[in-house]
Amino acid sequence: MGIDYAERIPNNVELASDRTLQRALERWQPAFLSWWKEMGPTDFNAADVYLRTAISVDAKGWAHYDYVRMPDYRWGIFLAEPEPDRRVGFGDGFGSPVWQQVPGEHRSTLRRLIVTQGDTEPASVEQQRLLGHTAPSLYDLRNLFQVNVEEGRHLWAMVYLLHAYFGRDGREEAEELLVRHSGDADKPRILGTFNEPIRDWLSFFMFTFFTDRDGKFQLKSFAESSFDPLARTCRFMLTEEAHHMFVGDTGISRVTKRTLEVMDELGTDEPEAVRRAGAIDLPTIQRYLNFWFSSSLDLFGSEASSNAAAYFAQGIKGRPDEKKFDDHLAREATFALDVPADAGRVRQDHVPLRNAMNEVVRNAYVEDCARGLARWNKLIEASGHGFRFTLPSTRFRRTIGNWANVPTDPSGRPIARDEYDAKLPSWLPSDDDRAFVASLMHRVVEPGTMAAWIAPPDKGIKDRPVDYEYVRLA
Ligand code: BYC
Ligand code: FE
Ligand code: FE
């Protein structure tokens, strides 16, 4: 099942054999392109960008690299190869054959989940649309655009499912995905984090580290789904997703590295001195981290969720890497949850494991995030400084779930509302922090040159040197 680039819509799903579906998607395509030209990185439509494009769905060697103008990017529909005789891997239907069509009773649930997933993809492109103007290097500019075109492709992935499996409802939902916009007062994006503005590159790196990583875990959960086309779509999306998180992880490493160099040159870690020297002090980075981590935690939903229990029971949405668990039915097991109790105390509740699936996924996510922090902290440790990045507690600054609107400090200790209100500005980026970071955001376009607040990457893209002209600006 090769990818057919002779088609107007590149695909490996034999689109040409289903004329009705093909025509419907060909009608959606111009709407997508006009959305891209209006809500995407519009000011760079004429730039030639060194981008990767999928040419097969093999785990290895699926990518082709070349200069492309973004509006000419070949967005298409690529599903991972089917697994022969695949069986339902969890829930009440464990062991029965997976579904190639949507079972009638799960139709509205599946549609809602696919729409929610699909909504985040264009949302992120909208959030990032102006960052190109302040890119710290051509290398970074190219990475931004790579992420943007692939999020556009992820939208295609979900729109394909909506069109192919959900009839008229699906086509209507596909249109709505281009009508809601990030931060729009009347028609915002569905999930909170996707309405937060991303105004500077520190936020972009935090977003690709923390929020794209929610994508990784949600996609891994869907990769287990009994609805096989969804599972296969998500399996291929995950191969693209790895680069997005790489951008965030190495971005924050490079900012940290530069800050450490400045601290060593100055012989001080005093934030004001670091700032005067044009680098971002570590406490400011921590405050950005607190913001994006806590916002992204909400994306996993409530700790105890009857929705999540139903998704699991019905075989719709599993746990990431479901195979590594022993009990795929989760009928008897319970899960211990810390919940807020009266007078600032914490109580333990035991809920059926199925109801706690959001929390199971969130915990796996937190562990994955912690690995990134450990890498950044190694850099700090190696340079002999005492500062360490920390992940706030999953109770901190939540707006969804048991801890929603419960005032706690970053370590998760419940505190009085007054104290919380007074201290919150010191835990999150202040207006002053944001203004300072904004003051550093100037576009650098000389190949190989980096803005003064970020270290160069260790290596370039696809064996190209760091000073390669990754974007030819028009
Ligand atoms: N903001 O029972 P609950 C990505 C809603 S990121 C606003 O706890 P459930 C990407 C919830 O919808 C991956 N509303 O929720 C990253 C529900 O509403 P209804 C995105 C929220 O259903 C970067 C209600 O609260 N993929 O790909 O167990 C760049 C009760 O909640 C939020 C997905 O999210 C929130 N944060 O789980 C580009 C996968 N959280 O139904 C791309 C699809 C919850 O009562 N979505 N609500 O109206 C899902 O699996 C589930 O909808 C959720 C929520 C995990 C989000
Ligand atoms: Fe995505
Ligand atoms: Fe992504």
Q: Is the pLDDT of residue 370 over 80?
A: yes
* Predicted confidence band of residue 1 (pLDDT cuts 50, 70, 90): low
Segment 296-303 shows an average pLDDT of 98
Res 2: pLDDT: 77
Res 61: pLDDT: 77
CA of 235 to the centre of ligand 2 (A): 12
Kindly provide the b/e burial profile for residues 383-397, where b requires at least 16 CB atoms within 10 angstroms of the residue's own CB: eeeebebebbbbbbb
Q: Is the pLDDT of residue 151 over 80?
A: yes
Q: In this structure, are residues 402 and 362 in contact, taking their beta carbons and an 8 Å threshold? A: no
Q: Whose CA is nearest to atom 21 of ligand 1?
A: 191
Second-level CATH architecture of 15-472 = Orthogonal Bundle (1.10)
Res 59: pLDDT: 76
* Predicted confidence band of residue 254 (pLDDT cuts 50, 70, 90): very high
CA of 222 to the centre of ligand 1 (A): 13
Question: How far is residue 349's CA from residue 339's CA, in Å, rounded to a whole number?
Answer: 7
What is the residue extent of each domain of the chain? Answer: 15-472
* Residue 333: DSSP 8-state: -
Question: How far is residue 427's CA from residue 410's CA, in Å, rounded to a whole number?
Answer: 8
Prediction pTM value? 0.97
Cβ < 6 Å from ligand 1: which residues? 113, 116-117, 120-121, 124, 151, 191-192, 211-212, 214-215, 218, 298-302, 305, 307-308, 317, 358, 400
Q: Whose CA is nearest to atom 33 of ligand 1?
A: 117
Q: Is 145 exposed, middle or buried (0-12, 13-18, 19+ CB in 10 A)?
A: buried
Q: In this structure, are residues 359 and 294 in contact, taking their beta carbons and an 8 Å threshold? A: no
Res 243: pLDDT: 97
Instruction: Give pLDDT tens digits for 196-239.
Output: 999 999 999 999 999 999 999 999 999 999 999 999 999 999 99
The rounded Cα 271 to chain-centroid distance in angstroms is 30
Instruction: Give pLDDT tens digits for 155-202.
Output: 999 999 999 999 999 999 999 999 999 999 999 999 999 999 999 999
- pLDDT mean across residues, the chain: 97
Question: How far is residue 150's CA from residue 121's CA, in Å, rounded to a whole number?
Answer: 9
| Cβ-based neighbour number of residue 5 at 10 Å | 13
Q: Provide the residue count of the chain.
A: 474
Indicate the range of 55-59, 130-134, 351-355, 442-446 predicted with least confidence. 55-59
Question: How far is residue 298's CA from residue 302's CA, in Å, rounded to a whole number?
Answer: 8
Which ligand is closest to the CA of 122, given by its number?
Answer: 1
Which ligand is closest to the CA of 236, given by its number?
Answer: 2
Which ligand is closest to the CA of 154, given by its number?
Answer: 2
Q: Is 429 exposed, middle or buried (0-12, 13-18, 19+ CB in 10 A)?
A: buried
Q: Is the pLDDT of residue 35 over 80?
A: yes
Q: Whose CA is nearest to atom 52 of ligand 1?
A: 113
Q: Is 96 exposed, middle or buried (0-12, 13-18, 19+ CB in 10 A)?
A: exposed
Question: How far is residue 454's CA from residue 452's CA, in Å, rounded to a whole number?
Answer: 6
Q: Which residues are near ligand 3, the ion (C-beta closer than 5 Å)?
A: 212, 215, 241, 244
Question: How far is residue 133's CA from residue 131's CA, in Å, rounded to a whole number?
Answer: 5
From the CA of 357, give the closest atom in ligand 1: 28
